Amino acid sequence: MPRGTPRLSRRLIIGLGLLQATLVLALIVTEPLRENNRPLNLLSWLAAEQAGQILAPAIGRNAAGNLALQTTPELRDYLASRPDFWFVVTDGDRLLRGGAVQDRNKDVVDDDGVVVPSRMSGQASPMLLVTPAGRVGAMLGNAQSGLLEGLSFWLADRLWHGLVGLLLLAAGNALVIVLGVRFLLRPVRAAADAARALQPAQRGLVLPEDGVPAEILPLVSATNAALARLEHAHAQQRRFMANAAHELRTPIAILALRLDAVPDDALRERLQQDVRRLTLLANQLLDLQRLQQADPAWERLDLVALSREVLAEMAPLAVDGGHELVFASALPRLEVRADDQALRSVFSNLIGNALTHGGPASQVTVRINPDRSLEVADRGPGIPPEVRDKIFEPFQRGMRDGPGAGLGLAIVRQVLQAHGAGIRLMETGAGACFRIEFPEAQPL
Amino acid sequence: MRILLVEDEVELAGALRAALDRRGILADWVGSLAEAREALSGPLAATGLRAILLDRRLPDGDGLSLLPALRQLPEAPPVIMLTARGQTAERVEGLDAGADDYLVKPFAVEELLARLRVVTRRRLDPGAEPMALGRLQFDPVHREAHVEGSVLALPRRELALLELLLRRAGRVVLREAMESFIFGFDDAPTSNTLDSHVSRLRRRLAEAEAGIAIHALRGLGYMARAE
């Protein structure tokens, strides 16, 4: 997948995460507003919250199990800076008091075990604290704080707790989204696999629509409709090509026969060469059309005998041009599933190219290797590196200006592809060498 | 030589007749099955047709339907079918139905002539016609080679080689074919005995100024041509 392609699951995770973070933040920020048993005095609420948070860790128990103050540095600092601050803590049984001195004889404990100090000096805030000694009720008096200090203390505390919750939520989100998206998009993946396997020569191209989510279904359906239109156009074009190639043969046949009347031997020979090219091209177009049919009539052929025959047929042409032909096979037989005429055309095309472009008095070799590959090599100037990648493209003539150029190698490659075989140009350092690799012979 | 051409494509037929005419071959031309039947039952059959060139796709049916009637003739001429490319089934059907050979359109005149020579000779005594290449004449009946009238004496195997090469003059004769032709079962040919026979034959032909070149094609075989 290319970088920068948006991922559905990532977007969902980020979107949902942002939404949840906003909600949590809103809950935190509106906390003072939602506290029902407190006066809406933000500053005193903040101060009490701060005092509670500092006090809670210092409330422990002694060996007898009674509440005991285990002073922390934070509490010590807090008490030192606020001489009026006092607190009373109770677990229901015992009282623990600290801070500014109070007259304990006048305390009252109400039914819930909450201590109501006798002389409330200044403001007092009741609250529940979670301490090392367990949950305790507390009354905090004269807790004071600056707005900034109180706010930052409170936010730091809440955000820390909020953050942990958020992270847990985010992990949960990610898991559900990743698995969910993967599950929901499974049909889409199946459609993509089907699309990847599509071959241009295939008939009835269609992507599976079963189970594709409704949001994505229009894309798959539209693709299927487009495929159907393409296939129709492709079939039409193929019919046209077949007809054109077929129609070409009669004029070519007439031309070939009329050439016979040309009195100038050299001119006639040249024109006959041209007609051979034309014939080869028309034949290959027909071959291709035939091989791209739904069910070509394959034969089981011996590549050794077939390629040797084609090479032998080219011998008069080679000897005329002062060239040498060499045939070498590492195998006594090589069975391939092929179309006889189409394969012969391919070889005569390649050998013809080699004879034309192999330079004067060259040597053209057809070699069959043990790995089911066949090579056609010449000793000419070779193919310039800048056109090497393009010689199999239609109408890419490059150095191969002459018989078999233009459409020649493009058709050669297509005909071979129809056979399941590949062709490539080898780096040899001397001359051009085309290598064809045949697959194992499949059943007919 | 006189032949019958059954072909509905007027221009093709015209060009073909003109090309054959230049080679001294007279081609009578009909454009349909009906005309062909008429011609074969009429006076044409009596004139000694040497061959029939038969197109398969005719306006009034398949050219093959002519074959059974043709076989009834006392001296049925050989038939070369003119077929379309890639119709393997058509080709096989034609040969099964009794055609002697086939030619795929478009074809060169030389190719047609070669096929004509083969099918017409097959009907006579195969291999009995004298052969000539360069300044050399070969008489297969007496198995004698002459250069400009004087006999070229050759050992048995070299003579056999020469005959084989002359029969396929201008085309490659594969090594295997040559070896099986000149060596009996009792000989165990090594790969260079063939080559040494060929080089001796080559030398003798050069000495006699026979005007024949024997080209070696490595991994394939040899090819004889006029120099």
Please tell me whether residues B141 and B43 are part of one structural domain.
no
Q: Among B91, B123, B155, give the residue marking a domain's end.
A: B123
Please tell me whether residues B205 and B159 are part of one structural domain.
yes
Kind plus residue range of the DSSP H or E element containing B79: strand B79-83
At residue A331, the pLDDT reads: 93
Q: Is A411 helix (H, G, I), strand (E, B) or coil?
A: helix
Please tell me whether residues B101 and B33 are part of one structural domain.
yes
At residue A434, the pLDDT reads: 94
Q: Is the Cβ pair A257, B170 closer than 8 Å? A: no
At residue A108, the pLDDT reads: 57
pLDDT (tens digit per residue) in B158-214: 888 999 899 888 889 998 888 887 776 556 666 668 899 999 999 999 998 999 999
Please tell me whether residues B74 and B41 are part of one structural domain.
yes
Find the closest chain B residue to A330 by CA distance: B219
Q: Among B100, B123, B146, give the residue marking a domain's end.
A: B123
Please tell me whether residues B99 and B153 are part of one structural domain.
no
| Alpha-carbon separation of residue B105 from A230, B1, B5, B12, B28 (angstroms) | 33, 23, 14, 10, 20
Please tell me whether residues B119 and B136 are part of one structural domain.
no
Please tell me whether residues B108 and B214 are part of one structural domain.
no
CATH code at B140? 1.10.10.10
Is the bond preceding residue B106 a cis peptide, omega within 30 degrees? yes
Are the beta carbons of A310 and A414 closer than 8 angstroms?
Answer: no
Q: Among B123, B139, B165, give the residue marking a domain's end.
A: B123
At residue A373, the pLDDT reads: 94
Q: Does A21 touch chain B (CB under 8 A)?
A: no
Has the ipTM of the complex gone over 0.90?
no
At residue B193, the pLDDT reads: 84
Please tell me whether residues B117 and B22 are part of one structural domain.
yes
Report the number of distinct structural domains present in chain B: 2
At residue A291, the pLDDT reads: 81
**Out of A254, A258, A283, closest to residue B85 by CB:** A283
At residue A441, the pLDDT reads: 75
Please tell me whether residues B184 and B115 are part of one structural domain.
no
- Residues in B touching A319 (Cβ below 8 Å): 215, 223, 225
Please tell me whether residues B181 and B79 are part of one structural domain.
no
CATH code at B85? 3.40.50.2300
Residues in chain A predicted with pLDDT less than 50, given as ranges, are: 119, 399-405
Work out the number of other CB atoms within 10 angstroms of the CB of residue A235.
11
At residue A109, the pLDDT reads: 61
Residue whose C-alpha is closest to residue A85's, from A109, A128, A39, A52: A52
At residue A130, the pLDDT reads: 85
The encoded tokens of residue A60 equal 């422990």
Please tell me whether residues B11 and B118 are part of one structural domain.
yes
- Residues in B touching A339 (Cβ below 8 Å): 86
Please tell me whether residues B150 and B190 are part of one structural domain.
yes
At residue A105, the pLDDT reads: 57
Residue whose C-alpha is closest to residue A93's, from A134, A48, A141: A134
At residue B53, the pLDDT reads: 92
The distance of A258 to chain B (nearest Cα, Å) reads 5
Host domain of residue B151: 131-226
DSSP assignment of A13-47, as one string? HHHHHHHHHHHHHHHHHTHHHH-TTS-S-HHHHHH
